[in-house]
């Protein structure tokens, strides 16, 4: 009698270093069913946003091609995970289901129920570690508690041994003949809006694209990472975050590859730049650590005082922020980059988040939801961690009084105005001296640059100095317990 195993793909869309797939191969099954279930309807708040769905479509197409090259095929289904798994088990006669763990609260609860159900039906159910280098429950303080501050967390894990990545199989057992698969188009992941084409043009989703991106980073950018990573006009970051989010490359693969690069370039600069980059992988791990131990944080501030913070309900200002029409160039450039490419430079993420939560005093949840829908790397742990950090209410949060001045941010990190001019063509003729604060420019400068404030480019929707003072006063109302 033939033996069949199901490998349940989720956000681990790769062949190499895939523990669930590796376990099925090592099990010498006669048939392996590579199954992806579109479970959007059952995940609710944690279902991928629009930009992530566009990426997912292309990533699944790439994975299907990879599996075909190994003699297999990708089975696509849509529906509630347990019901679909039951249907595929009945149709294939599978006696095992393997998958790689994820750490979002709703996914954890669903997976526990599915694992219990599979045990009752005497189907071998096993889950593996692939999304992180270190499981969230394995990192504890000296008192046995989870960490809330990144630096001691990273100090503990950065020198820990990381298992070597698993090699990719060269051949896979086929799924049973006649097993039905939905078409990729039937999943309806691509919106009718032409906006999706911008993401297609900006990225190369898939496992091959992920490794190409890593090699390009190591060969061209990594040697100057510490300095260039802060310059949004430059190609100074790895741009690996969406590939990591969808599991087209895993953290173990990146860590080992970067360490090999450091050894090959054995000098202090390579070590320093490599360590700085690996600390960003550490922040991703920290985001999962915080989310796992504080599953309420996608909805609620970790700092409970902020339940009483006097946020403003200003839909007009929120819409101006979303559309990149606030009249503050560094903020607007970041928001327009996000809409055009599905990504935003980290320096800008901090800047626009600080502006929304402090200068506009709009609750961080509104910004987090917009990022969730428009980022191709929208990752619940990292997204929530970043927004609560910026708002001063989360783990390792910046003090609330640290309010980013977007003019100074632009002058420091985009001194020539190249980033702003790239995304705000209305300001392309403004001199660098005034491009980050056109409202302060002399009238002759504005006329020469062809800028009419309030017409060709908006006037600022808020005064930066006044709104900063108002935000600090608002914080005093919860700081003092009034």
In angstroms, what is the C-alpha Rg of the chain?
A: 24
Beta-bridge mates of residue 189: none
User: CB of 181 within 8 A of CB of 73?
Assistant: yes
CA distances (Å), origin 233, targets 139, 243, 327: 37, 22, 20
Q: Give the integer Cα–Cα distance in Å for 255 and 278.
A: 7
Q: How far is CA 418 from the centre of its chain?
A: 26
Q: Give the integer Cα–Cα distance in Å for 390 and 306.
A: 13
E strands, 74-206, where? 74-78, 96-100, 124-128
Exposure b/e, 18-56, CB count within 10 A at least 16 = b? bbbbbbbbebebebbbbbbbbbbeeeeebebbbbbbbbb
Catalytic (active-site) positions: 280, 283, 311, 346, 364, 387
Burial class of residue 482, CB neighbours in 10 A (0-12, 13-18, 19+)? exposed
């Amino acid at each position: 009698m033939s033996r069949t195993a199901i490998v349940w793909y989720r956000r681990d869309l790769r062949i190499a270093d895939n523990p669930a797939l590796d376990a099925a191969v090592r099990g010498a099954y006669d048939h392996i069913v590579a199954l992806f279930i579109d479970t959007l309807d059952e995940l609710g708040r944690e279902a991928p946003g629009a930009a992530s769905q566009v990426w997912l479509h292309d990533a699944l197409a790439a994975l299907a091609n990879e599996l075909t090259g190994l003699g297999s095929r990708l089975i696509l289904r849509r529906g509630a995970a347990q019901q679909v798994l039951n249907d595929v088990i009945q149709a294939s006669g599978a006696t095992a289901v393997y998958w790689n763990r994820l750490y979002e609260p709703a996914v954890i609860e669903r997976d526990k129920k599915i694992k219990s159900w599979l045990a009752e039906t005497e189907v071998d159910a096993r889950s593996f570690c692939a999304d992180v280098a270190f499981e969230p429950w394995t990192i504890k303080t000296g008192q046995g508690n989870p960490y809330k501050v990144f630096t001691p967390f990273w100090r503990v894990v950065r020198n820990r041994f990381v298992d070597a990545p698993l090699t990719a199989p060269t051949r896979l057992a086929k799924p049973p003949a006649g097993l039905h698969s939905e078409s990729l188009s039937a999943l309806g992941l691509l919106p009718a809006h032409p906006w999706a084409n911008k993401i297609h043009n900006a990225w190369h989703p898939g496992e091959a694209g992920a490794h190409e991106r890593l090699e390009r980073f190591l060969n061209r950018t990594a040697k100057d990472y510490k300095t260039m990573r802060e310059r949004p006009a430059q190609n100074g970051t790895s741009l690996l975050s969406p590939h990591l989010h969808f599991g087209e490359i895993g953290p173990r693969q990146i860590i080992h590859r970067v360490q090999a690069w450091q050894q090959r370039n054995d000098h202090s600069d390579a070590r320093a730049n490599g360590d700085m980059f690996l600390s960003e992988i550490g922040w991703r791990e920290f985001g999962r650590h915080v989310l796992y131990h504080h599953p309420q944080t996608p909805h609620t501030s970790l700092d409970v005082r902020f339940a009483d913070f006097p946020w403003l309900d200003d839909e007009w200002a929120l819409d101006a922020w979303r559309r990149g029409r606030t009249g503050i160039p560094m903020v607007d450039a970041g928001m327009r980059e996000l809409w055009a490419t599905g990504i935003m430079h980290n320096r800008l993420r901090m800047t626009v988040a600080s502006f929304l939560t402090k200068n506009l005093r709009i609750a961080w949840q509104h910004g987090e939801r917009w990022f969730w829908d428009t980022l191709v790397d929208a990752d619940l742990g990292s997204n929530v961690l970043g927004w609560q950090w910026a708002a001063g209410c989360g783990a390792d949060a910046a003090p609330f009084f640290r309010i980013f001045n977007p003019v100074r941010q632009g002058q420091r990190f985009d001194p020539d105005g190249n980033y702003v001019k790239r995304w705000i063509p209305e300001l392309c003729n403004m001199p660098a001296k005034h491009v980050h604060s056109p409202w302060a420019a002399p009238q002759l400068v504005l006329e020469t640059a062809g800028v009419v404030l309030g017409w060709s480019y908006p006037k600022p929707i808020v005064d930066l100095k006044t709104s900063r003072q108002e935000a600090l006063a608002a914080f005093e109302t919860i700081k003092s317990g009034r």
